[in-house]
Structures are given as structure tokens and as C-alpha cells.
Amino acid sequence: MNTRVTLCGIPLDNPVMAASGTFGFGQEFAKLYDLNLLGSFSMKGTTLLPRDGNPPPRIAECPAGMLNAVGLQNPGVHGLIADELPKLAKVFHKPVMANISGFSVDEYVQITELLAPEPQIGWLEINISCPNVHGGGMAFGTDPKAAAHVTRAVRRVTKKPVIIKLSPNVTDIADVAKACEAEGADGLSLINTLLGMRLNLKTRKPVLPFVTGGLSGPSVFPVALRMVWQVYEAVKVPLVGIGGIRTAHDVLEMMLAGATAVQVGSENLINPYACPGIIADLPQAMETYGINNLTDIIGGAH
């Protein structure tokens, strides 16, 4: 069984990647298994300056999922370059995906210019869709013109593959996708979390101090699948499917809808061995459905 795929010109041994925000910079998981089993992973969202993130509590449980309002806690781009990338190079020997979050177009550009020369970074995943931080992140992802502006600006300063991570909190995600493609995006990641909230019945206040958080987990899989399907119909660039993926069968379903690769998110927080387990199960799932080569099924349900 051939599990290899190619994402924006970079080959992957398999299509399974860990999603940004659920895998840190890989060090915690490297203590549990060989990270090189993965196709790749998307590093923790990185901003220009270090961020402490939102005050706790940052997590609220809900049926078939969870809400998070971490608030992009990270060491900043200079900390990533000076500390995290050298440590990662010792345990991961494949191209890694950088996840970039900015509060202005200039910030996206500055971070891209700093990270693009780093040899281990294969793709630049531009997060225009984080719903957890005040300052424009959500606005960029929900307005096709703003999304196009960010894409155009980042595209000008790097030759590495630029993958725009889209927000599901829109009326028509295909419009945003087409705007990004038109300005030079090499690929699209979708979806980021859906906006939600929980209330504490005892205090009669929101569980999260930030009030709202990003909903992820199995409950969002049908929404993510639908959006991948819609965007595949609207653009020609490769897609990375994200949202509620837990099994090898979920991977096949997402690829049939149009994804070239997938990212596993919340399941990493429940089961730290989720990604290698899915990868190990892929050949049997492929055999079950008569699939010899994963690239043959990308968009195969259309």
C-alpha cells in the first residue's frame, strides 16, 4: 500500500500531520515516539513577540469536543528560531510546517521573512483564522479582501509554499479560498475552530474568562468535511483537511472530499499516540476499501 502524497511539491511518507496548537514544538511527543513516523506537523502558532496567552481557565469541555481559548501562548519568532528549531532538528528530520499568526499585515510579513530562510521549515501556514485573540486575526479570515491582502503580502517575501489556514466562521468559505488562491496561495488548510461558548450554571458566568473559545473535536468533523468538499470544488490548489479526525477511516473520508493531507488536532490531547496509531491503521483501511495508492483518491468523491 502506497501512503505517500505530495503537498505543494514536498513529498510526505503519509498524509497524517499533527495540527498546530495541539503538538507544541514537538518536544513533548518526541519523548513518547519517533516523530519521523509522521508525515509532518504544524508547529505551535507563532507571533512576532512572545505571548503569555489568555488567563486560565483556557479549556471548557463539551459533548464530543472541547473549547479552547489559549490565546497563542508562544515564545515569539526569535525564540522559535533561537531555541525551538535547533532542538527540533535533533529529533525530527523532515520538513516541518511553521504556523504564523499576526495582528497586522506587517507582522505576518515580518514573521515570514524571519522564518522562510530556516532550512527545516518546509511550508508556511498562515493563520488568518484564530478566533481567540483580539487584534484582527478573525477579521482577516472572515473577509475575502482582507484574506487576499495578507496572502499577497506574504507571497511577495518568500518562495516557500504558502498555505493559508481558513476560518469556518464565515458564510461562504469558498469565497475566501478563491481570494487567497488568486493572490498566490500554494495551498489551503481548513478548518480552524468554530466559535462557541459554555456557561457555568453555579456562577451564571461564562466558563472561559475570554467568554468564547474555539470548538474542536469529533463534533466538528462533518462541518470540516463539508467545507473541504466546497473548497475543493472552488479552487485548484491542494488542501489540508482539519477538524475532528480520529481514525484512518476519517483520513480516507477527508481525502475523498478533496484533502491531499490532513491534520490531527484535539485527538492528540486525548491520546498522545493518536497520530502514529492512525498511520499504523492506514494500510488496513486502504485494503478494506480497495485503495492501493492514496493519491488516487484525492477528491475522488466528486
Please list the active-site residues.
130
From residue 102, alpha-carbon distances to 92, 93, 99, 140, 221 in Å are 26, 28, 10, 10, 27
Rounded to the nearest angstrom, the gap between the alpha carbon of residue 208 and the centroid of all alpha carbons in its chain is: 23
Cis peptide before 297 (omega within 30 of 0): no
CA-CA distance, 216 to 192, in Å (whole number)? 8
Number of DSSP helices (H) and strands (E) in the chain, helices first? 11, 16
The dihedrals phi and psi of 53, each to the nearest 5 degrees, come to 85, -170
The dihedrals phi and psi of 116, each to the nearest 5 degrees, come to -55, -35
By C-alpha distance, which of 165, 73, 85, 166 is closest to 125?
Answer: 165
Query: Cβ of 252: how many Cβ atoms within 10 Å?
Result: 21
Amino acid at 267: E
